Amino acid sequence: MDVAREIAMLVSQIPAGSVSTFADVAEALGDPHAATAVFRILTNAPVEGSHRVVRADGAVPRAGMTARLRRDGVSISRSRVNELDQIRWREFRGPRTLARLREEQQQLGATVETTDRFEGGRRIAAFDVAYDGDDATAAAVVMDAKNEAVLQEVAIHTKVDFPYIPGYLGYRELPCIEACFRRLDTVPDLLMIDGHGLLHPARFGVACFAGVRLDRPSIGVAKSLLVGTIGPPPKKAGDWTDVRVDGETMGAALRSGQSRRLIYVSIGHRVSLATALRTTKQLCTTRIPEPLRRADLLSKNEKRKWKKR
């Protein structure tokens, strides 16, 4: 699927003399919350007609586009935001890919198992992906959970064709994660993914994707919160608090070290939240669990080597 190409197709439908907002284009894709991602994509790679996509307040985001709009017969500014609706185009036609993907996530979410089928296995494989535009360097580090010995390291370099859109990270990163997974000498007992699991708007984040598709127990560990409300802040290292979505506990905010910056732990697949939290805490000698910290370093180092080559 080529979301950037679909955005270009939608933008091409905006007639001269009209404008649309980034949220309008995101809605046409199937998810109005993707407006920031649409803005980023069109800013980094403008397409024909992208000067006709403006902010919700009527502001034109890029220098030089105002003149192009005036040649179209359009002159808008922040002071004329009330007139925006008179020239606003929303009659888009398209496959609404994000709506279809969100429905797929919700369907796959029903297959996630939230009870323990992880019995304390020692081989934990952590995965991280570093980016340079659409070039991805993915890394896997397998560690022995008992003595923290590194058992194997794998890194690959590949192109990605799905843009970064919050809530859809699995579609961008799963191919990279799977490519590393297939290169491991031995199937790991547990996958630890840099990202969310059930703590996700569709309750199916990248850690769930990896667990379900690769048929392995998995845990999601994220550095920032995508959805949910955090309980009382943890006071000391090792403390945690619930993260609730619509009143239901979907993850845990863990203070893993002396830093007040929290990490967010959630079920990926075949692991209970209690086990996911206990395992993560055991592996935190710094803020980030050691397997993930090493995978992050490996992906960044391999990316630098690739860029030099």
The helix or strand, by DSSP H or E, that contains position 99, with its residue range, turns out to be helix 97-109
Q: Is 208 exposed, middle or buried (0-12, 13-18, 19+ CB in 10 A)?
A: buried
**Interatomic CA distance for residues 65 and 178, integer angstroms:** 41
Q: Region 106-123: what's the mean pLDDT?
A: 89
**Interatomic CA distance for residues 249 and 264, integer angstroms:** 12
How much is the pLDDT for 60? 75
How much is the pLDDT for 79? 42
Q: Tens digits of per-residue pLDDT, 77-105?
A: 554 556 677 789 999 999 999 999 999 99
DSSP lists the bridge partners of residue 54 as 21
Q: Tens digits of per-residue pLDDT, 241-300?
A: 999 999 999 999 999 988 889 999 999 999 999 999 999 999 998 999 999 999 999 999
How much is the pLDDT for 76? 64
What residues does each domain of the chain span? 3-95, 109-308
Report CA 192 to chain centroid distance, whole Å.
15
**Token digits of residue 196:** 């969310």
166-87-71 Cα angle (round to 5): 100
How much is the pLDDT for 78? 52
Where do the DSSP E strands lie in the chain?
Answer: 20-21, 53-54, 123-132, 135-144, 150-159, 190-194, 218-222, 229-230, 240-245, 248-254, 263-269
**Interatomic CA distance for residues 84 and 74, integer angstroms:** 10
How much is the pLDDT for 58? 76
Cα→Cα distances 182→121, 212, 291, Å: 19, 15, 18
**Token digits of residue 199:** 């703590």
Kindly state the percentage of the chain with pLDDT values over 70.
95
Amino acid 142 reads V
How many helices (H) and strands (E) the chain has is answered by 9, 11
How much is the pLDDT for 178? 97
Q: Tens digits of per-residue pLDDT, 4-56?
A: 999 999 999 999 989 999 999 999 999 999 999 999 999 988 899 998 998 88
Q: Higher model confidence: residue 38 or residue 71?
A: 38
Indicate the pTM of the whole model: 0.91
How much is the pLDDT for 198? 97
**Interatomic CA distance for residues 176 and 157, integer angstroms:** 8
Q: Tens digits of per-residue pLDDT, 161-213?
A: 899 999 999 999 999 999 999 999 999 999 999 999 999 999 999 999 999 99
107 CB neighbour count, 10 Å cutoff? 11
Q: b/e per residue, 82-97, with b = 16+ CB within 10 A?
A: eebeebebeebeeebb
Pick among 3.30.2170.10, 3.40.190.290, 3.30.530.20, 2.60.120.560: CATH of 109-308? 3.30.2170.10
How much is the pLDDT for 147? 87
The CA-to-CA distance between both ends of the chain, in Å, stands at: 30
How much is the pLDDT for 81? 52
CATH of domain 3-95: 1.10.10.10
Cα→Cα distances 109→189, 207, 244, Å: 21, 11, 17
State phi, psi for 75 to the nearest 5 degrees.
Answer: -140, 105
How much is the pLDDT for 222? 97
Q: Tens digits of per-residue pLDDT, 127-168?
A: 999 999 889 999 999 999 888 899 999 999 999 989 999 999
